[in-house]
Amino acid sequence: MTKVALCVRGESREFSLALGESILHAAMAQGLALDHACGGVCACSTCHVKITAGLECFTEASEDELDQLDEARDTSLESRLGCQARLTKVPLSGKVEIVIPSWNVNAVREGAGA
Ligand code: FES
């Protein structure tokens, strides 16, 4: 298990993340609320997080994930979907930091025309 610093609305908390586990799964299992309107199937962008340390230790984003992130607000090179990003190795620094944007709102596109 890797200890992860999670910053939500300026408050820092810590949770554990196992190899192969998604950020969303780990957060929910440990009582940390992270929006996930589509249930974690890469069909919304409500689980948008920014991995500000240890990003290289997560799975690469798929085309579907990148498409969903295109719909998210305020994305950056650190942006990932919490339901898709899985830890693949422990960072040499031992440090993983994740920020949940405070404005993260339900951005489900169901029913929205293209
Ligand atoms: S919960 Fe919908 S994309 Fe992650």
- Identify whether the C-beta of residue 96 lies closer than 8 Å to the C-beta of residue 57: yes
What pLDDT digit, counting tens, does each position of 26-67 carry?
988 888 878 899 999 999 999 999 999 999 999 999 999 999
For residue 66, give the nearest of 81, 47, 83, 86 by alpha carbon: 81
Give me the pLDDT at residue 33, please: 79
Full set of structural domains in the chain with CATH: 2-100 (3.10.20.30)
Q: Rounded mean pLDDT of 73-89? A: 95
Give me the pLDDT at residue 10, please: 64
DSSP, res 40: S
Atom of ligand 1 nearest to the CA of 40: 1
Question: What are the E-state strand segments in 43-95?
Answer: 48-53, 79-81
Query: Which residues have CB under 6 Å of ligand 1?
Result: 36-38, 40, 42-47, 68, 81, 83
pTM across the whole model: 0.84
What pLDDT digit, counting tens, does each position of 96-111 carry?
899 887 665 443 333 3
